[in-house]
Amino acid sequence: MIKANFKRTNMVILLLTASSLVLGTTTVFYYMKYGELVQNYSDVNLFSSSHDVSPFGNLTEVPNVLVSYPSGFQDYAKAILKICDTALPKYMEIFGMSTPDIQIFIFTNQEQVSLGCTANYRIFNYVRSIDDFKPPPNGPHHVYGFIHEIGHLLFMTDNGTFNEGWADYVAGFRIVSEVYRELGENVWPQPYNYSKIEGEERFLNSINDPNYCQPSTMSAAAKILYTIDQKYGATIFKLAIGKMHPTYVGMYHFPIYELEEFKRVLVDLTNDASFWELFSENGF
């Protein structure tokens, strides 16, 4: 069982990511917010950032996911936990990736809405009020957003834009639709078809739109990964990652991979030299 304990957390945030399609954040914002959390939330309860007893205390039995939330957000916390707990095995099933323990923290009364993750397997969701959890078009892409952040935590390179493309590909093209097939639209307190709105259809539209998918953008990176997937299958990425030599950072030994090595290993595995041009023409 995961235990949240900010008091013991003294690592500097080495790498921060956010979903630019969904909400968008800055490194400075997250660094400042992280400092506030360490100072103000040194004793975070397992499932409530207030000191109330959670009506969903049984959710602590989920082995790989923890959700901490303010009073009144129980329904959304339950939905987020179900979504993430369902997504993690899908990453293992499709990509062969191991599943880390993930902690998710929801904080209210913020000046802006944001969603991002840090290199200690934590996802932070800042909202102004409970209204920010309304489904699209009145709110952000919630299901995609959390699955996107999990994608970052499972594989991160030294190129921030490419990382966004990776998380867009794994979440938008692969995992969102799988979660929808298992949980359906009723998993969210206000049911909506997140597979159609946030999944494969949205993803394919974005990578095939020349006005949107420009070189050196998130969509261009996602298009590279989609192209390789269609030719060799998604497990080629797990094989490549397994042959790479990451740099491990922080007390959690979070792995950071070099994009150049990723390209080289993919070419070596497939003996497909066309990948060099594929990466280059898309700005990577």
Q: What is the DSSP letter of 17?
A: E
Quote the pLDDT of residue 23: 42
> Is 70 within a domain?
yes
> Is 266 within a domain?
yes
In Å, how far from its chain's centre is CA 236?
A: 20
254-256 and 247-249 as β-strands: parallel, antiparallel, unpaired? Answer: antiparallel
Domain carrying residue 23: 6-281
Number of domains in the chain: 1
Please state the pTM of the whole predicted model: 0.81
> Is 205 within a domain?
yes
Angle between helices 235-242 and 259-270 (to 10 degrees): 110
> Is 229 within a domain?
yes
Beta bridge mates, 121: none
| 39 class by beta-carbon count within 10 Å (0-12 exposed, 13-18 middle, 19+ buried) | exposed
Tally of CB atoms within 10 A around 140: 23
Tokens describing residue 8: 């013991």
> Is 267 within a domain?
yes
| pLDDT, tens digit (0-9, with 9 covering 90-100), for 174-201 | 999 999 999 999 999 999 999 999 999 9
> Is 146 within a domain?
yes
Nearest to 122 by CA among 106, 102, 146: 102
> Is 167 within a domain?
yes
* CA pair distance 216, 281, nearest whole angstrom: 9
User: For the domain that residue 129 is a member of, what is the CATH number?
Assistant: 1.10.390
3-state DSSP call for residue 194? helix
| pLDDT, tens digit (0-9, with 9 covering 90-100), for 4-59 | 333 333 333 333 433 333 444 333 333 344 444 333 333 333 333 333 334 333 34
Mean of pLDDT over the chain: 82
Tokens describing residue 32: 């400042």
> Is 1 within a domain?
no
